[in-house]
Chains A and B, each alone.
Chain A
């Protein structure tokens, strides 16, 4: 029953999103996603992104008041800035590794 509904879902997906799902599954299965996460975390700490973000968090929290802080609010406030502040060099390195993975496993 479950597999049947999954198959239906699979078929209704567009070709592109199916590809995406497959790649994502592979990334997780091979442990590459964890490795990439770890790499990104290390790089971001190294380049001061984390400190900048924490400073930004402090401002946000002071605005809202200590008691009313939720993870969801923080996410909304912080994610755009987080994306913008990632240095190009870090982006480039991560993209390079992801592309290498894709080239290796998409053939």
Chain B
């Protein structure tokens, strides 16, 4: 099934949790925020939130800026 993460298409074999997705992407869930279909998922729910086909996911963090 196809999902979109930070503008890039990704293929995952089955429905997984957001925690699993972050682990697959090698992203440590520290100092990040995640939106699934424009809804922010609180950090406490990463283990419960199930990623489904067609989901659009944005993962952000802080970078240098003024």
- Do the two chains belong together in a single complex? no
**Contact surface of B with A, Cβ cutoff 8 Å:** none
**Contact surface of A with B, Cβ cutoff 8 Å:** none
